[in-house]
Structure formats: C-alpha cells, structure tokens
C-alpha cells in the first residue's frame, strides 16, 4: 500500500512540476502554427507586390510555411526537455516509415520542383496534360491546379504531370489557324479562292507574315475542299476561327457558291 501511495505521490509531483511547461509548450505550438500561416500569407503578398514570377509565389509561400511549422515542433519538443538524441532517433525511424508510406507524395514534391526548374508552363498558360486541358491557375508544392474553359477546377499531382507529355497552347505568341471549307464540283474554284482571300484580307487579326495559304486540300465524294491556313496572335486564335466560319457561310451564300452537305439519292425501280 505504501508503495502505491509513493507512486501516486511521485506522479502528482511530476504533474505539478511539468504541467506549466506542458501548457506553455501547447500554447507555443498553437500560436506558432497559426503564426506560420500568417507569415506564409504575408510572404505571398510581399512576393506578389515585388512582382516575383507568379509561378513561384504559391510554391515558395508553402515551403516557408512548412519549414516554420517544422522548426516550431522541434523547438517545442526541445523546450519540453526531450533528449535531442532520442528525438533524432525517433524522427529518423518515423521518417523512414513515413517516406515509404508517402512515396507518391514525395514524388509529387519532386515533380513540383522539376516543374519550377524546367518551366514547361507557367501561371496563365493553357496546357493539355494527363488527359485534361485548362489554364494553369496555381502550381502548389504537391499539385498543379487547372481551370477548364467551363470553370471547372482540376487538381493534378505534380509527379505524373512532370513525367507526362505536356502540350502548351499559349507558350508561343502566334498560332496557325487551320480551317477547311467545301464547295460544289460545279462551282468556280478561282472565284471561291478569291472570295476566301478577300475575307482573310478583311480580318485585321490575321497576320500578313507568315502568308496565308488557300489551297485545294481534297477532292471529296461530294465537295471540293479548300484547306485554309492563316496565322494569328495566340489570344485571337478562337476568335479568328469562329468568325471565319460565319463569314465564309454568309459570303458564299451571297456570292452563289454552294456548300455541299452529305445527301443520298434513292431510286425506286418497280419490277
């Protein structure tokens, strides 16, 4: 009985002795954790104000915030009096286990670093990767965020993205706009070509250099197809494409140039 009372007394003495330190440690941990978030947000605003490359801003802010949190945890553990050697051993064993369990996460981190170093795309670029197409909104420490044209958010892990084929639609300042227009076999080819060249010349968004191409691309089953290739600034690509479709249809109608469509003649024979 005396032994039990001695254990209880020893435990109470330990609680009384270490309770203030534990409470202070918890307070430091909570305050430091929130403070790291505040510092990360402040750093993000500072980098944006200094006009640092927008691609780097979220990545750097996240890395700094994570390092501060790690430093706070280590400081609190040291404050509580846990031996450094034991702490390092525990961290080493835990790090090995966590590393094996989170190999995919570490791969995503390495992929994010490679994306920032090699720069296959930046914030604001329109890219196609992993079967998705969208505008790059943010490159985070583990993920890349895309926004689709219909305003969907796509979150892609950096590891597969860095190892996959990437199509960057907006990296170059100009793009070639490829179009095809068909006319009937009875229509005047020279008249149709002149009409297409006139429409191309009337659109100020279409560049003069490189020169536009208007050639016969195919003698199809029911139409003679013109292949039209023009160059425009990247931001004007879809405007030129859609407007030319409408302009060609209206002009061909007014000029009496037919645009064939698939049709089938059925002949009935009575036996």
Instruction: Print pLDDT tens along the chain (271 aa).
Output: 556 656 565 655 555 566 666 777 677 777 777 777 777 777 777 766 766 666 666 767 777 777 777 777 777 777 666 665 555 555 665 554 555 444 567 788 888 888 888 889 998 999 999 999 999 998 888 899 999 999 999 999 999 999 999 999 999 999 999 999 999 999 999 999 999 999 999 999 999 999 999 999 999 988 999 999 999 999 999 999 999 999 999 999 999 999 887 766 666 777 6
Domains of the chain (ranges; CATH) run 2-101 (1.10.287.1260), 113-168 (2.30.30.60), 174-255 (3.30.70.100)
Amino acid 45: pLDDT: 75
Cβ-contact 69, 40 below 8 angstroms: no
Residue 56: which of 134, 112, 135, 129 has the closest Cα?
112
Three-state secondary structure of 96-133 = HHHHHHCHHHHHHHHHHHHHHHHCCCCCCCEEEECCEE
Opening angle at CA 195, ends 192 and 199, nearest 5: 140
Amino acid 101: pLDDT: 46
End-to-end C-alpha distance for the chain, whole angstroms: 118
Count of residues making up the chain: 271
Residue 199: which of 176, 216, 179 has the closest Cα?
179
- Both structure tokens of 168: 């960057």
Distance of alpha carbon 120 from alpha carbon 169, whole angstroms: 11
Amino acid 62: pLDDT: 73
- Both structure tokens of 238: 């879809």
To the question of pTM greater than 0.85 for the whole model, the response is no
Dihedral in degrees, nearest 10, Cα atoms 36, 40, 46, 48: -170
Q: What are phi and psi of 124, to 5 degrees?
A: 100, -15
143-147 and 167-168 strand pairing: unpaired
- Both structure tokens of 59: 């990545």
């Amino acid at each position: 009985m005396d032994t039990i009372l001695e254990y209880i007394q020893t435990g109470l003495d330990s609680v009384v002795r270490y309770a203030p330190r534990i409470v202070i440690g918890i307070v430091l941990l909570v305050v430091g954790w929130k403070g790291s978030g505040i510092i990360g947000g402040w750093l993000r605003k500072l980098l944006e104000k200094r006009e640092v490359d927008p691609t780097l801003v979220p990545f750097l802010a996240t890395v700094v915030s994570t390092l501060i949190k790690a430093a706070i945890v280590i400081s609190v553990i040291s404050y509580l009096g846990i031996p450094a050697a034991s702490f390092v051993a525990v961290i080493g064993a835990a790090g090995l286990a966590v590393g094996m369990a989170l190999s995919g996460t570490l791969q995503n981190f390495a992929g994010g670093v490679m994306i920032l170093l090699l720069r296959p795309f930046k914030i604001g670029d329109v890219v196609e990767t992993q079967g998705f197409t969208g505008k790059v909104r943010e490159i985070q420490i583990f993920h890349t965020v895309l926004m689709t044209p219909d305003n969907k958010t796509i979150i892609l892990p950096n590891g597969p993205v860095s190892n996959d084929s990437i199509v960057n639609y907006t990296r170059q300042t100009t793009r070639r706009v490829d179009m095809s227009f068909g006319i009937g076999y009875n229509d005047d080819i020279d008249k149709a070509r002149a009409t297409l060249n006139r429409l191309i010349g009337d659109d100020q968004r279409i560049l003069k250099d490189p020169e536009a191409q208007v050639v016969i691309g195919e003698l199809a089953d029911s139409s003679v197809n013109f292949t039209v290739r023009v160059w425009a600034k990247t931001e004007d690509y879809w405007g030129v494409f859609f407007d030319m479709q409408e302009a060609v249809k209206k002009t061909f109608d007014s000029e009496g140039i037919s645009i064939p469509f698939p049709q089938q003649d059925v002949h009935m024979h009575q036996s």
